[in-house]
Amino acid sequence: MPFGAGAATHPVNHLAITVPRNQFAAARHWLLERTAVIELDGESGFALGEPWHSVYFLGPDGIILEFIARHGLPNDKVEPFGARCDGGRPSVTARA
């Protein structure tokens, strides 16, 4: 998916994963330790209008994934950001 101004030439889907608003930097760091992120003009974190920030990356099947911190959503966490497994399914969340 090209990032830039202009009309989309084909439909593009992506999956957004909400991360705690006070842990966007930690979530981005966690992600960068595991995979490459999508950049536009050398930038990998996007402030897509207040009040949220996003970082995009590709999943193993090629779909675009997004970590998004919605600053208007009161979901602050004090636990360190990381991955955990709930019921046998991996999830990305603040550790409980």
Q: What is the pLDDT of residues 29-55, one digit of tens each?
A: 999 999 999 887 777 777 666 688 889
Higher pLDDT, 39 or 89: 39
CATH code at 14-94: 3.10.180
pTM of the model: 0.71
Closest by alpha carbon to 15, among 47, 52, 62, 51? 62
Least confident among 45-54, 60-69, 75-84 = 45-54
For 96, residues 6+ apart whose C-beta sits below 8 A from its C-beta are: 79, 84
Task: Give the start-to-end residue ranges of the domains of the chain.
Answer: 14-94
